[in-house]
Structure 1
Amino acid sequence: MAKYGLLGKDIGYSFSQTFFSIKFEKEALPHTYFNFDVPCIQNFKDLISDIPDLKGLNVTIPYKEAIIPHLFRLDKESKQIGAVNTIKFRKDGKLIGYNTDHYGFAKALAHFLPIYKKTALILGSGGASKAIRYVLDAMNFEYLQVSRTSSENTITYEKVTPKVLEEHFLIINCTPLGTTPNISEAPNIPYTSLGRHHVLFDLIYNPRETEFMKRGLARGARVSNGFKMLEYQAKKSWKIWNS
């Protein structure tokens, strides 16, 4: 019996465990999928050494970058992105890192193309945002990245003025703001400057309609949660584990 799982912190809400458990049952596959909810990534090697027949892991917040030093190598795309969300366990015991977030996001975003102008705001600067940047670069979008602290490559939320919002038509929430149980939270941007040409894409999938999405809908924008993205990336993970 092969074992798979999700590595993260505070992941009781996990999509992945439900998705793969249903898949295994429907296809009569003798596999299991576990949540590995760990408070500290430093003990990763000890964790996996106690689990026989582990074939693959998905990786989520906050370990998409922190997991990298624990891996034998990364594939070309995850190395370029700088974040990993899928680990394949080779027969020789070596662990290989992949990123399927970029694939999932690109596939999900395709449903909203074309966008009024190829300009975007990326809210958040964690591991997931790196995959988003990778896709937007490939699609020739101009974008700004927003974070709580400024840097050479980011602006702060205080600098997201109505004018900035009026000039950027794809807005992607890569932060955990609005995730269950804190469903009243949303990124601090001037939502009244949104309109029908905007697309708001939230990587959150629980709840299905976040406060971020609701505020966009109220202004006539098109919106999406992260469910389709996760579904696409999960299917891609399965192909990697079985290739």
Structure 2
Amino acid sequence: MDKYGLIGYPLGHSFSIGYFNEKFQNEGIDAVYENYEIPDISTLPEILDSNPELKGLNVTIPYKEQVIKYLDAISPEANAIGAVNVIRVTHKDRKTILKGFNSDVIGFTKSIEPMLEPCHKKALILGTGGASKAINFGLKSLGLETLFVSRSKKEGAIRYEDVTPQVVKEYNVIVNCTPIGMYPHTDECPNIPYHAMDMHTLLYDLIYNPDETLFLKRGKAHGATIANGLEMLLLQAFSSWEFWNGKEQL
């Protein structure tokens, strides 16, 4: 039986395990998907050694960047983004070969593109982790100018206290790439001036549990268009299967 799985920490919110095991059952695929909740990326080789049936892995927080040093090859897109969330596992002459891809950018751009209006020219990206890099890549590929927002002072980013009402008016696409507001912390949201939002504002939250975060609710109350990360997840899962079983060459 083939095996697939997810590495990250923590994994209590994981969508993938239910999606793929249901897919395998419905389509008669002789495979299983498991969660590998590892407190440190250094245990990845141990997981691979003890699970020789592994054909592919998804990678989530906080390992999308850290995992790259363990890979034998990486797709040009994932290399440009600087983050990997899909790994194809193959075996050749007793050697395990790991190839890295990024499905975040595919899922995100396909889901947000139909929502973009001519007035959407600039975007704020809340957070600076591995997912935010893919979001930045995707937004730029769609022709938007981007600006990162960080809790601490970082090059190429502004801090939350610098997000004024004027900034919200100018950067009227706002994507939350942080875990703020994720279940069970549903009473939290990024600290930005929601009162400056209006019908031209587009809020996109990578979080899908709850399906409407406080970030989305507060924007919606001021007329913003909102979307959560569920469609992006479904598109990512489809892309993962393609990467694991496709003929993409690196």
**TM, length-normalised to structure 2:** 0.95
Tell me how far apart the structure 2 counterparts of residues 124 and 235 of structure 1 sit (CA, whole Å). 25
Alignment of 1:1-243 (within 5 A): 1-92=1-92, 93-243=96-246
Question: Aligned partner of 1:75: which letter?
Answer: S
Question: Would you say the 8 A contact 1:171–1:200 is kept in 2?
Answer: yes
% identity of equivalent residues: 48
Secondary structure class of the residue paired with 2:6: strand
Deviation at residue 118 of structure 1 after TM alignment:
1.1
User: Relative to 1, partners in 2 of residues 1:110 and 1:117: Cα closer, same or farther, differing over 3 Å?
Assistant: closer
Tell me how far apart the structure 2 counterparts of residues 110 and 141 of structure 1 sit (CA, whole Å). 11
Deviation at residue 28 of structure 1 after TM alignment:
1.2
Superposed CA deviations along residues 127-162 of structure 1, whole A, max 9, x for unmatched, are 000001111121221121100112220000000001
Tell me how far apart the structure 2 counterparts of residues 115 and 42 of structure 1 sit (CA, whole Å). 46
Question: Would you say the 8 A contact 2:113–2:142 is kept in 1?
Answer: no
Question: Aligned partner of 2:189: which letter?
Answer: A
Secondary structure class of the residue paired with 2:66: coil
Equivalent residue pairs, number = 243
Tell me how far apart the structure 2 counterparts of residues 224 and 91 of structure 1 sit (CA, whole Å). 40
Tell me how far apart the structure 1 counterparts of residues 167 and 117 of structure 2 sit (CA, whole Å). 20
Segments of 5+ residues of structure 1 without an aligned counterpart are: none
Deviation at residue 110 of structure 1 after TM alignment:
1.9
Deviation at residue 115 of structure 1 after TM alignment:
4.9
Secondary structure class of the residue paired with 1:67: helix
Question: Aligned partner of 1:120: which letter?
Answer: A
Tell me how far apart the structure 2 counterparts of residues 134 and 179 of structure 1 sit (CA, whole Å). 24
Deviation larger for 16-25 or 78-87 = 16-25
Secondary structure class of the residue paired with 1:186: coil
Superposed CA deviations along residues 13-52 of structure 1, whole A, max 9, x for unmatched, are 2111111011111101111000111111111101211012
Secondary structure class of the residue paired with 2:223: coil
**TM, length-normalised to structure 1:** 0.98
Question: Would you say the 8 A contact 1:115–1:170 is kept in 2?
Answer: no
Secondary structure class of the residue paired with 1:87: strand
Superposed CA deviations along residues 85-138 of structure 1, whole A, max 9, x for unmatched, are 000012322100100100000011023122523110000000000001111121
Tell me how far apart the structure 2 counterparts of residues 117 and 128 of structure 1 sit (CA, whole Å). 21
Secondary structure class of the residue paired with 1:61: coil
Coordinate RMSD, CA, aligned: 0.9
Secondary structure class of the residue paired with 2:217: helix
Segments of 5+ residues of structure 2 without an aligned counterpart are: none
Tell me how far apart the structure 2 counterparts of residues 127 and 77 of structure 1 sit (CA, whole Å). 14
